[in-house]
Each structure stands twice: as C-alpha cells, then as structure tokens.
C-alpha cells in the first residue's frame, strides 16, 4: 500500500502531463480505428 500512496503523490504533482498523455493516446486509438474502418470499407467496395 506504500507504493500506492507514492503513486497518488506523483499523480498529484503531474496530473496535467498525464491528462495530455491520455488525450494523445486516446486520439491515436481513435485514428487507428478510423484507419481500420477505411480499410474495411475500401475492401468491401472493390
């Protein structure tokens, strides 16, 4: 449980960084999904 409290302290120090990172990761995931959908649609139309 000591590790957990240390993690909480760290997350309090840099929540902005984590939020930005999470946003970027989410955006990348969305882009990947869009690319996959495009590929599927292109294959279907051929």
Please indicate, yes or no, whether the overall pTM of this predicted structure exceeds 0.75: no
Instruction: Work out the mean pLDDT of the chain and round it to a whole number.
Output: 85
Convert the pLDDT of each residue in 3-20 to its tens digit.
Answer: 778 777 766 667 788 889
Annotate 1-27 with DSSP letters as a single string. Answer: -HHHHHHHHHHHHSHHHHHHHHHHHHH
pLDDT score for 28: 97
Q: What is the pLDDT of residue 37?
A: 95
């Amino acid at each position: 449980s000591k590790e957990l409290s240390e993690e909480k302290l760290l997350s309090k120090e840099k929540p902005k960084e984590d939020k930005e990172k999470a946003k970027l990761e989410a955006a990348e995931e969305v882009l990947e999904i869009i690319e996959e959908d495009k590929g599927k649609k292109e294959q279907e139309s051929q």
